[in-house]
């Protein structure tokens, strides 16, 4: 599937230690759309996010952003190119306040750019405005995930890579986050969403991929996958590989 102006991944091979994890992965993430990657724990989904984000170095393959190679680029260069990652586990700086977490995420911006970026992030998550002086450790799980997403929005990335949006969160919070992702995509950002709850993932996504044992076993529209329960069933029964 082509993604003009988007992220293109082709024949990507990644190993962790001596173990091959991703075995010739190909997928695309388009601007202004949600693309979901589904599969059981250990299928290699998080490895893909870490690789595209620059935290892991691939062995071979192609990764391009708007037609330019970002294969093997370091994380700071990937972030500057317009790709931000929200990793699994609501990762924030718990010893810092909410406002300082946001400022830390914009450390490469000018003072004026940072003010605008913080304002824009808080416009997406106004719930955080009353929590600005509160240390991250005192936030609820939902607030921590909102802050993780707000940090990723600092710098106005063109693409978001989101690993396990709903992990450990109440349904009402998940619905709130889902509406935020819909708005972010509608504003033009492309989103790669890794999500264990397939109903949620397919309700948000335009395009869907299913990963099994480090390989893509389905690529198509989310609507098509909804009518292929045997694909999902097979993926979730697949043997564990690694995260």
CATH of the domain at 77: 3.40.50.300
Containing H/E element for 47? helix 45-52
Residues (pLDDT < 50) of the chain are: 239-243
Cβ pair 27, 64 in contact under 8 A: no
Confirm whether 125 is domain-assigned.
yes
Confirm whether 200 is domain-assigned.
yes
Confirm whether 242 is domain-assigned.
no
* Predicted TM-score (pTM) of this structure: 0.94
Confirm whether 241 is domain-assigned.
no
Domain count, the chain: 1
Which CA distances in Å does 218 have to 225, 226, 230? 8, 12, 11
SS3 64: strand
Confirm whether 243 is domain-assigned.
no
Per-residue burial over 24-41, b = 16 or more CB atoms within 10 Å of its CB, e = otherwise: ebbbbbbbbbbbbbbbbe
Tell me, what's the pLDDT at 236?
73
Give the whole-angstrom CA distance, residue 138 versus residue 134. 7
**Structure-block tokens of residue 157:** 């990335």
Confirm whether 1 is domain-assigned.
no
Confirm whether 2 is domain-assigned.
no
Q: Which domain holds residue 47?
A: 7-236
Per-residue pLDDT of 179-233, as tens digits, reads 999 999 999 999 999 998 999 999 999 999 999 999 999 999 999 999 998 998 8
Confirm whether 109 is domain-assigned.
yes
Backbone angles phi, psi at 176, to 5 degrees: -65, -45
């Amino acid at each position: 599937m082509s993604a003009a102006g988007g992220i293109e991944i082709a024949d990507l091979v990644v190993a962790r230690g001596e173990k091959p994890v991703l075995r010739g992965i190909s997928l695309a993430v388009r601007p202004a759309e949600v693309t979901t990657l589904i599969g059981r724990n250990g299928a290699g989904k998080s490895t893909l996010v870490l690789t595209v984000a620059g935290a892991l170095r691939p062995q071979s393959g192609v990764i391009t952003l708007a037609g330019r190679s970002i294969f093997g680029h370091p994380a700071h260069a990937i972030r500057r190119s317009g790709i931000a990652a929200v990793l699994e586990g609501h990762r924030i700086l718990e010893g810092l306040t909410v406002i300082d977490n946001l400022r830390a995420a914009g450390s490469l911006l000018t003072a004026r750019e940072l003010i605008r970026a913080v304002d824009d992030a808080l416009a997406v998550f106004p719930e955080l405005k009353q929590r600005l002086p509160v240390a991250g450790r005192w936030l609820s799980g939902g607030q921590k995930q909102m802050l993780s997403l707000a940090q990723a929005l600092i710098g106005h990335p063109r693409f978001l890579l989101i690993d396990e949006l709903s992990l450990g969160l109440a349904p009402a919070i998940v619905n709130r986050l889902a509406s935020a992702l819909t708005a972010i995509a509608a504003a033009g950002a492309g989103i790669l969403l890794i999500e264990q709850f397939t109903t949620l993932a397919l309700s948000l996504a335009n395009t869907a991929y299913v990963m099994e044992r480090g390989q893509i076993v389905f690529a198509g529209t989310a609507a098509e996958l909804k009518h292929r329960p045997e694909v999902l069933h097979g993926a979730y029964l697949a043997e564990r590989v690694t995260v």
